[in-house]
Structure 1
Amino acid sequence: MYNLNEFESREALDVQLADKVASALSDAIAQNGSASIAVSGGSTPKGFFKALSEKDLAWDKIHVTLADERWVPMTDDASNTKLVHENLLVGKAAKAKFFHLKQGETLSAETLSDLNLAAKATLLPFDVLILGMGEDGHTASLFPCSQEIHEGLAKTTGPLLKVQPTTAPHLRISFSFAYLAQSKNTILHICGDNKKTVLDKALSNQDVLEMPIRAFLFDDNIDTQIYWAK
């Protein structure tokens, strides 16, 4: 299910979210000797990334990855990997280990198989998951328009899948709902009136194929904390 946390400013949200995530990562390291976090791209998390990167954590024991990635070179402005390296993996957080989703030139079945094995060995289940949400209700690269949406939302699929959206550019690689759902801390980070309108629509019924974010909002086994600021 979900809980809505509203903030008066994006700056206040960034500070509180960074505090919450740092605490969760610190607890995971204390319990298991390491921690993992999956983040999302876009402009919304930049302030949060900066606040988190300044936290005094055992960053060398933390694995960072993305909930999804566009299959583009890291030098491309559309690359979320580039975004994370420039905004999160800096300062104190530069010591963190980054798990690349975009590896090689071709997103082949062999590449997916290798990535799935590596993700299971080093990342999963996530200690922290930071989700975003598109205007169409997609999250990660679980697009309602894609042919892969049934696979992406299935509870029996593997960790990672190839996604080709029809309403957005670029081939994608995305973690599946089945494995994202296992995160010990799940947070939906959104800002602005437009995203609040999309959220209100998402909360109006439970058709996950229409708006995949609903899979995280209405699952009885997931405590999705929504962080929203105007």
Structure 2
Amino acid sequence: MSLSLQKFENEKTLVHTFAEQICKQLTAAIAERGAAYLVVSGGSTPLPLFRELRTHAIDWSAVTVVLADDRWVEPGSTASNARLVKEELLKDFAAAAKLVELVHDYASLKDAEQLAQQRLHGLPTFDVVILGMGQDAHTASLFPCSDSIHDVFSSHADIVALQPSTAPHARLTLTPKRLLDSRQIYIHFNGEAKFKVLQQALEATDPEQAPIGYFARQQQVPVASIYAA
């Protein structure tokens, strides 16, 4: 098993093809197991994909959407990934899907972590995980700059709280262990600059210094890189 690279000439073609592939996988999961579990990331890159996915008339009532990570901010904040997904994905046909939010208690980060762990506990293997990638090779909220990144990679929990030193806000993020409990991982990005980041991450020997490289190199779950030039 090795990383599959899928390059598209433009974002429009990528989004159309990628959305169809995801919907096929979700539909197959529903047919086989009665439900489907989709993990999504925040940021600007997945917005066109979200808008395309929500126009597909699959059985969204059987789909549970899980956030790969979120910032520890008030629910209405523009920095909230939960708000982003509600506004951009969970509309039209996809309004019937269920969302597992990570930030439940704004008063205490530790309480928020524990509540998120309780909500994630018992969820089955994810069917599709869509990861993004930063210029520093972070993915989800697995930042190389975080003092606790070593503990995150060794954690047996489903979710952990951490504080990046070069990015705003404390975060709640699914752990590598939980993200790898999936049937398919996609790494979604745009541009040749990001492709170079991925290439460098693939060569990194320490996963804590280039977290996206860890997911791209692992042999446990099929992984594909989806990007537009």
TM-score, normalising length: structure 2:
0.95
Which digits, 9 at most, give the CA deviation of each residue in 1:37-61, with x for residues without a partner? 1100111111111111111111111
Partner of 1:221: 220
Moved over 3 A (4+): 106-111
Whether the 8 Å CA contact 1:107–1:162 is kept in 2: the answer is: no
- Measured in 2, the distance between the counterparts of 1:106 and 1:70 equals 14
Task: Give the deviation of 1:206 after TM superposition.
Answer: 3.0
- Measured in 2, the distance between the counterparts of 1:77 and 1:158 equals 28
Whether the 8 Å CA contact 1:135–1:198 is kept in 2: the answer is: yes
- Measured in 1, the distance between the counterparts of 2:108 and 2:38 equals 23
Partner of 1:163: 162
Whether the 8 Å CA contact 1:65–1:98 is kept in 2: the answer is: yes
1:63-102 matched pairs, under 5 angstroms: 63-102=64-103
Partner of 2:55: 54
Identify unmatched segments of 5+ residues in structure 1.
none
Q: What percentage of aligned pairs have identical amino acids? A: 36
Let me know the Cα RMSD of the aligned residues: 1.3
Partner of 1:141: 141
Partner of 1:125: 125
Partner of 1:113: 114
Task: Give the deviation of 1:114 after TM superposition.
Answer: 3.2
Which residue identity lines up with residue 146 of structure 1 in the other structure? S
Matched residue SS, 2:161: strand
TM-score, normalising length: structure 1:
0.94
Task: Give the deviation of 1:178 after TM superposition.
Answer: 0.3
- Measured in 1, the distance between the counterparts of 2:125 and 2:34 equals 14
Identify unmatched segments of 5+ residues in structure 2.
none
Task: Give the deviation of 1:20 after TM superposition.
Answer: 1.0
- Measured in 1, the distance between the counterparts of 2:223 and 2:172 equals 23
Matched residue SS, 1:228: strand
Whether the 8 Å CA contact 1:67–1:175 is kept in 2: the answer is: yes
- Measured in 2, the distance between the counterparts of 1:110 and 1:84 equals 23
Which residue identity lines up with residue 158 of structure 2 in the other structure? P
Which digits, 9 at most, give the CA deviation of each residue in 1:56-107, with x for residues without a partner? 1111111112100001122211111111111100100001111111112134
Which residue identity lines up with residue 29 of structure 1 in the other structure? I
Partner of 2:4: 3
- Measured in 1, the distance between the counterparts of 2:57 and 2:124 equals 23
Which residue identity lines up with residue 212 of structure 2 in the other structure? I
Task: Give the deviation of 1:108 after TM superposition.
Answer: 4.2
Which residue identity lines up with residue 165 of structure 1 in the other structure? P
- Measured in 2, the distance between the counterparts of 1:51 and 1:93 equals 10
Partner of 2:15: 14
- Measured in 2, the distance between the counterparts of 1:114 and 1:29 equals 27
